[in-house]
Amino acid sequence: MALRKTKRPEKSILASARELIEAEARAVDGLAARLDETFAEAVGAIASCEGRVVVTGMGKAGFLAQRLSALFASLGIASLYLHPAEAAHGDLGRLTDGDLLIALSQSGATEELLRLLPAVRGLGIAVVALTGRADSPLGRAASHALSTGAIDEDGAWGRVPTASSAALHALGDALALGVARARGISQEKVARLHPGGAMGRATAQVRQVMREGEAVPRVAAEATLARAVAVMTETIGRPGCALAVDRAGRLAGIFTDGDLRRLIERGELDLKARLRAVMSADPVTVSPEARVLEAAQLLRDRRIDQVAVVDRAGRPVGLLDVQDLLAAHFID
């Protein structure tokens, strides 16, 4: 089957695309100057909400509302999306005491939202509006009205809510992150909600991925080399090293598969020798609270496959192995 040749985009198509992107950029750029005390008050109202942050919107604004609700949830702020039309048919029961409603509508005159507001206010629930005009019906009915202002949509497609959607999107992001800051939500807490993402990896601590318990190959520094090799072989996961400890249980050294091979190559292997005589007496260590990415970089820089994890007293409480970091995608 012959492949159809793809025509090069006409200049008018590229020009239109650039015009659209520039219109969206202007819409978002203009928001910064519009932020005032009303925004800070809205942030304060949401931050002090004792229930959930419920977000609603219709049409394109409805998709933005769903995304905003997901953002709140990802920051550790309890949230749900409420479809305004379904709310009138029983879903209003999803609202409980202490909740707060954020309503999105660029026009501020969305019929489904306006029908919903009297019932919401009847439940004693505060409303924050994200809209194009603070003096719109939605804006006037809300406890706090945040507006994007008049938005010039892209030329020939002026009826399509593109630039205005970008502005509502950005305003919602600013609101959610402002609430997270007001509540003192830490980066670590947010990272715990993103264990599979880049954020989780960036803030993960060594204690979350280290081997511990019976998977840590501890052996007395006074033991024989034969005993150390046995421990390396018998330990769960066969880590390829043994952590030598003194009588107080503090880390005294490390012996690795590489050390064993070098002894064999030099003809110096003596399985009856004491481990302290052949181990590396100044091993690299990390703490359980260290960031995994920093520990991974340490392994790269030192060109080693394992690093002992020690507590403040110098006792080995874990082992970080390069194979575990590869499996968890902390390193490539």
* pLDDT tens-digit profile, the chain (332 residues): 455 555 555 558 888 888 888 888 998 998 988 899 999 999 999 999 999 999 999 999 999 999 999 999 999 999 999 999 999 888 999 999 999 999 999 999 999 999 999 999 899 999 999 999 999 999 999 999 999 988 877 655 667 888 899 999 999 999 999 999 999 988 777 767 666 666 677 778 999 999 999 999 999 999 999 999 999 999 999 999 999 999 999 999 999 999 999 999 999 999 999 999 999 998 999 999 999 989 999 999 999 999 999 999 999 999 999 988 888 778 76
Residue 214 lies in a domain: yes
- Token pair belonging to 143: 């406890």
CA distance 182 to 327: 37
Residues 175 and 215 in one domain: no
Which residues does 109 contact at the CB level (< 8 Å), separation at least 6? 136, 137, 138
- The pTM (predicted TM-score) of the whole model is 0.69
Backbone φ and ψ for 269, nearest 5 degrees, come out as -70, 120
Residue 86 lies in a domain: yes
Predicted local confidence at residue 204, as pLDDT = 85
Q: How many distinct structural domains can be found in the chain?
A: 2
- Token pair belonging to 306: 């394992």
Residue 305 lies in a domain: yes
CA distance 280 to 277: 9
Last residue of a domain, one of 185, 218, 250: 185
| Of 105, 98, 99, residue with least CA distance to 80 | 99
Residue 192 lies in a domain: no
Predicted local confidence at residue 155, as pLDDT = 57
- Token pair belonging to 291: 């960031």
Predicted local confidence at residue 4, as pLDDT = 57
Residue 284 lies in a domain: yes
CA distance 208 to 276: 30
Backbone φ and ψ for 95, nearest 5 degrees, come out as -75, 140
| Of 105, 177, 135, 132, residue with least CA distance to 27 | 132
What domain range is 231 assigned to? 206-327
Polymer length in residues for the chain: 332
Residue 309 lies in a domain: yes
